């Protein structure tokens, strides 16, 4: 039974993150919050250098890190999106692949807010420094909101 308790803790930790994203999105649809989190984190993962992406993944709850790493091809990292529009297109493509009718513009900021609150201050700065200027602005705006 102790193993079951450990699984329950893992699930509760992931649920806490998804609940926070749902709250930031102002929705009670936790499935939408999960899809938003997956789509945004995947786009961020590909935009960061491999080592930086691994550091971010290490700070995520175990179940969410599974989504973060799912299908990752580190050799193709980092991608070259430099503008907010290009990043949003990547998030939107991820949302489409997950089969959910969300809009990237509605989900990136809420996910970034939660991520910024939950990761260490050093990791926050490392992400900030790894992003190109326009994406860095989006990251900082979301964190400040």
Distance of CA 136 to CAs 8, 57, 90, 129, Å? 36, 19, 16, 7
> 99, 100, 114: which is closest to 17 by C-alpha?
114
Give the total residue count for the chain: 145
Read off the pTM.
0.92
Digit-by-digit pLDDT tens for the chain (145 residues) are 667 888 999 999 999 999 999 999 999 999 999 999 999 999 999 999 999 999 999 999 999 999 999 999 999 888 888 899 999 999 999 999 888 789 999 999 999 999 999 999 999 999 999 999 999 999 999 888 7
In the chain, the number of structural domains is 1
- Give the domain CATH number at 101: 1.10.490.110
* Tokens 């609150």 belong to residue: 117
Q: Which domain holds residue 137?
A: 2-144
């Amino acid at each position: 039974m102790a193993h079951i308790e450990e699984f329950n803790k893992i699930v509760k930790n992931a649920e806490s993150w998804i609940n926070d994203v749902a709250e930031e999105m102002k929705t009670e649809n936790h499935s939408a919050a999960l899809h938003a989190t997956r789509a945004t984190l995947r786009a961020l993962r590909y935009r960061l250098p491999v080592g930086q992406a691994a550091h971010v993944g290490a700070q995520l709850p175990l179940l969410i890190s599974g989504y973060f790493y799912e299908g990752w091809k580190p050799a193709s990292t980092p991608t070259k999106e430099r503008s907010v529009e290009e990043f949003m297109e990547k998030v939107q493509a991820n949302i489409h692949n997950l089969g959910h009718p969300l809009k990237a513009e509605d989900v990136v900021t809420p996910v970034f807010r939660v991520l910024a609150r939950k990761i260490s201050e050093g990791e926050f700065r490392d992400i900030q420094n790894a992003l190109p200027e326009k994406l860095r602005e989006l990251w900082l705006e979301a964190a400040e909101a």
